[in-house]
Structure 1
């Protein structure tokens, strides 16, 4: 079985939803997130052996109060979220904080040929700007 919270009125009122982990169908909803109410509901199902839940201590404590022998597992959403968060941190730790790209050693000059005569003024100006950007920069130092 899966236990999670849901918003009755966002940021104001929340409840708890119980979902069958096999059929993915809602078993029940209770309009409370208190440990006592959730534990009381769980006690109605003494045959439960596994509960999938998020990391909230509220649900952890409710499950323990209802039956300390129930095995807790992380729900799929939070498992994947935590995995991607840890992977992102690990990858960021391996990479330098700044990567500096060197300018290309060889630049390709695009020749302006007779075909440019058929370009519109807009396209001709774009081509000239591209050539200016791609032109090798010349640093001159005068004494």
Structure 2
């Protein structure tokens, strides 16, 4: 049984782009809502869209993954946490590994705080740089 809902939000088409990626790679999930903060949206319109998405999720606990700490989507989610009767955990720096972790942890018996720690750690571990190896560094076992 899923113990929390997930909101993905950010500037521009951040949430919509991640939605396309998630659905292409992992499929559709009923416990995720996506909310874009598009150019031209007023703060009031965005806040109403985000509030609506949170209320559509029938979970007491909501994990809100945002693009930028302190940005409008992040700040609006923090404000809604104090206004709504839900436990909303707001995280910034959202990347695909964080979403995979959030989806993977949905059916666990862990506390929401431990789940948040896991999501952040998985997100950090998903950041890397490709390094070209010299031919002399490549091991070849043969056939």
Shorter-chain TM range is 0.3 to 0.5
Q: Normalising by structure 2, report the TM-score.
A: 0.36
**Higher normalized contact order (CA 8 Å, seq sep 6+, divided by chain length):** 2
Q: Normalising by structure 1, report the TM-score.
A: 0.36
Which protein has the bigger helix share? 2
